[in-house]
Amino acid sequence: MRSAREEGDDMRRRVVVTGIGVVSPVGTGKERFWQAVRRGESGIGPVTRFDASGLPTRIAGEVKDFDPLKYMDRRTSRHMDRFTQFAVAAARMAVEDAKLNLSEEERESTGVIISSGIGGMETIEQQHRVLIERGPGRISPFFVPMLIANMAGGQVAIELGLKGPNMAVVSACASSANAIGEATLLIKRGKCQIALAGGSEAAITLLSFAGFCAMGAMSTRNEEPTRASRPFDRDRDGFVMGEGAGVLVLESLEHAQKRGAEIYAEIVGYASNCDAFHIVQPEPEGRGAAKVMEDAIKDASLKPEEVDYINAHGTGTGLNDRLETAAIKKVFGEHAYRLAVSSSKSMFGHLLGAAGAVELITTIMAIQDQWLPPTINLENPDPDCDLDYVPNVGRSGQIRVALSNSFGFGGHNVTLIVKRWGI
């Protein structure tokens, strides 16, 4: 049995990011993605993946430049839902970016935690049509393996031969942020030296849209799709659904330095909690959101005034934007007006279970480039949202420490904190 001191020594292990892979509505691949974000491009447009003409919302952030055959053979791709294809592609890009050349021993212990908030919704709908039109005898034997949310991580492990800890954390829109946090803890505890972590989502389907429309949660600015996602703006009318995947290669600092890896940033803080209030609405005072930021700052052994930038959850819904702003003020006091806050969802929409990972990638690239990403479409600020949201145009700025928030249905709250490497 290990002593408390030994456990404490483990938790002091440092965890760094050495590889990035991304599939998004503004571009696939780290460089293409980041240049689009820097320019403040919108990836929102009319839905093309199904006939949305009968719905109040007919716009989304679709991935437009994705070819699964660049990352897998045709037969393999046919046995994967779109969300799994995205995950495999992002994982391969991340491994290539990290210049990982894993030995067999390293493959035995490399972890994979890749999450999805919804899983194979496209497969569910397609196979339901088969059931109704052709009968139960024509259902694919791959139906269940294609739809389950853990299959993104499972297929990544199969494709890359990774035999370490493997799981999917499902916490709605906080799923991939939780995945990255839990992978960080795996490395800190010495369970593995390397982990692939992130999330994937491909829920732009008729049933998903019908469900979110029934809730009145999505924007109906169909005639102006590029202006529809407008976090913190007085005229916001709901979120815009996106799709995509983000996967990061995490390593212990010791392992990364031993192999001479390029280090993007260090993950220094992680916290997770629950509002325990309502299935879809945030707690009215934003107490859970405030506490998760406070806990992450404490985990990072930082002071609030050391945080330079926050990548907000910033959905463009009335409640979220006001309450997240109030929570930031509660945690940071007067410093809230000195730090920069922005919402990447203004550009590529809400990627649901993949949002946390893709937004953390945005945050890390911001640190790398010392560039504050904009919140586009912020034309008429909500009086209750009075912080510096980097409106409409990004700008250069010193970012040593950055915080990324992810909140999900069920009251799930997650905060990750990353630090510029070498300071």
The residue among 21, 180, 48, 208 whose CA lies nearest residue 115 is 180
Under DSSP, is residue 313 helix (H, G, I), strand (E, B) or coil?
coil
- The amino acid occupying position 100 is L
| 255 among known catalytic residues | no
Residue 199 CA to residue 197 CA, distance in Å, equals 7
Residue 33 CA to residue 38 CA, distance in Å, equals 9
Residue of 173, 192, 213, 385 marked catalytic: 173
CB-based contact 184:15 (threshold 8 Å): yes
Phi, psi dihedrals of residue 196, rounded to the nearest 5°:
-95, 125
Whole-angstrom CA distances from 371 to 62, 398, 417 are 25, 8, 17
Residue of 255, 350, 385, 412 marked catalytic: 350
| 412 among known catalytic residues | no
Residue of 192, 213, 255, 313 marked catalytic: 313
* Strand 401-408 to 412-420 pairing: antiparallel
CB-based contact 405:310 (threshold 8 Å): yes
Give the burial class of 214: count Cβ atoms within 10 A of its Cβ; 0-12 exposed, 13-18 middle, 19 or more buried.
exposed
CB-based contact 30:24 (threshold 8 Å): no
Q: Which residues contact 193 (CB under 8 A, 6 or more apart)?
A: 106, 109, 110, 187, 251, 252, 254, 255
Query: What DSSP letter does each residue of 166-220 carry, written as one string?
Result: EE---BTBTHHHHHHHHHHHHHHTTS-SEEEEEEEE---SHHHHHHHHHHT-B--
Q: At what angle do helices 82-98 and 121-134 cross, to 10 degrees?
A: 150
Query: What DSSP letter does each residue of 48-108 carry, written as one string?
Result: -SS--TTSS--EEB---S--GGGTS-HHHHHTS-HHHHHHHHHHHHHHHHHT----HHHHH
The secondary element (H helix, E strand) that includes residue 255 is helix 253-258
Residue 140 CA to residue 144 CA, distance in Å, equals 9
How big, in percent rounded to 5, are the helix, strand and coil portions of the chain? Answer: 40, 20, 40
| 192 among known catalytic residues | no
| Active-site residue set | 173, 313, 350
